[in-house]
Structure 1
């Protein structure tokens, strides 16, 4: 029986064999590696992955799809909202997870931030996302795409856009272009208060067209910060390293 894509789950099933093969090659799965796939759907990517891995953990919210997936003995099916999954607990002792998936576009950013909380348990991540989101993730300072998402991921990951995917590669086709991003946690991550950095960056980009002295200046003044930091520029002009240094100085 054909599964009908459910709009409330943001379901767009990958159906292009050439694209699937390209994604698998980009991931490079090796037998025995601990890997988790988010949103396996109709198992288009799941099947070639598990053939190479031997076993695979999949996270699926859709009850009907989860039931289908349980018929495959090589799969460990976690039927859950991915935002409630403890990825650290899924990692085998002494090993880090590889995480992959065609993420639901309507909650992709919350998923990325949820995984950030478990980054120490993760080896790498390969995700299909809306191309616009990937552009923002990998954006350089002083570009239109550079913003809060860029800073909050780049301080912790090295990222690369590895594949463009058009709407025709999905069933049903989304109304946007897609891309696959590779995310590798930095080996030497800066030591800082991540919650403080998040608040700082959110304030800085809250009025992105104005100079930082307006919103961020008042925020720093309230914290009695008197150190060197150029507020006569816009948030999009500040490199990730400077946001990190400011968070460390506070």
Structure 2
């Protein structure tokens, strides 16, 4: 079978450097023994190294041409090649409800959506590795006080330790992307409960970072309405003089609890 043609509408950029492919595949060794789910295997440049890990490997691929290629070239995977859209999949029974490692050369245009979905299954995914756009990787690994620190940083780091492993140049892809790439690893931290309403936490983080240059006392007003307006004392708290990039995870949790308390008492 001929090589698969990269499709622009699927954001396909096939990795051609086998040494880098091997290095990416080896990032799953941080979580040994667990089965592996690879997203977007394309022509199997990572898959060929993952199947040597002596673990169960499943690969989900939305491109029919790639699925046919994988079936022909990786007959041992057989039923473990899943021709579906990862974003629409129910991951709870993928490995009979057992934890697994997520990896892949992720499509850049949906990488954030992939990681947000991962958060919905965080108790099943103790480890996630792979390659994404360098800019996104920097945001995910960024600490408070940096320009790259934002929504993705807070929501991911609340549950995972994020490691920026190495940068990948544009020249090792077909076709070459217009940006540099990076390989990351996320390992589940010890947090089992945030200590606040998780939905409100997510809403708060997104709200304040949408106006990241403003002080919290300005941006957080959007959390309230005319029917439920916060007290004047609430906006005089010390934390309200800060901007969102100055807050760590614990401070966002604290702020979420303050907002929840105000929402339940305000008139």
Using the size of structure 2 for normalisation, the TM-score is 0.86
Which of 201, 204, 208 lines up with 1:204 in the alignment? 208
**CA displacement at 1:128 relative to structure 2:** 0.4
Distance of aligned partners of 1:223 and 1:70 in 2 relative to their CA distance in 1, 3 Å threshold: farther
Partner of 1:27: 28
Report Cα offsets for 1:79-138 as digits up to 9, x if no partner. Answer: 111101112221334x31111011000111111101110111112000200000000001
Counterpart secondary structure, 2:241: coil
Which of 176, 193, 198 lines up with 1:173 in the alignment? 176
Distance of aligned partners of 1:168 and 1:245 in 2 relative to their CA distance in 1, 3 Å threshold: same
Computed over aligned residues only, the root mean square deviation of the Cα atoms, in angstroms, reads 2.1
Matched, 1:100 2:103: yes
Task: Write the mapping of 1:186-205 to structure 2, written as runs, cut at 5 A.
Answer: 186-189=189-192, 190-205=194-209
Matched, 1:74 2:76: yes
Give the distance between the partners of 1:11 and 1:34, measured in 2 at CA: 25
Using the size of structure 1 for normalisation, the TM-score is 0.92
CA contact (8 A) 2:212 2:245 kept: yes
Which of 118, 138, 158 lines up with 1:135 in the alignment? 138
Matched, 1:237 2:246: yes
Give the distance between the partners of 1:109 and 1:12, measured in 2 at CA: 17
Report Cα offsets for 1:47-102 as digits up to 9, x if no partner. Answer: 11102235310000001111222232332011111101112221334x31111011
Report Cα offsets for 1:115-162 as digits up to 9, x if no partner. Answer: 110111112000200000000001111111011111111111111001
CA contact (8 A) 2:208 2:219 kept: yes
Give the distance between the partners of 1:157 and 1:100, measured in 2 at CA: 15
Partner of 2:60: 59
Tell me, which stretches of 5 or more residues in structure 2 are unaligned? 261-267
CA contact (8 A) 2:4 2:69 kept: no
Give the distance between the partners of 2:146 and 2:183, measured in 1 at CA: 21
CA contact (8 A) 1:30 1:53 kept: no
Tell me, which stretches of 5 or more residues in structure 1 are unaligned? none
Distance of aligned partners of 1:22 and 1:192 in 2 relative to their CA distance in 1, 3 Å threshold: same
Give the distance between the partners of 1:51 and 1:29, measured in 2 at CA: 15
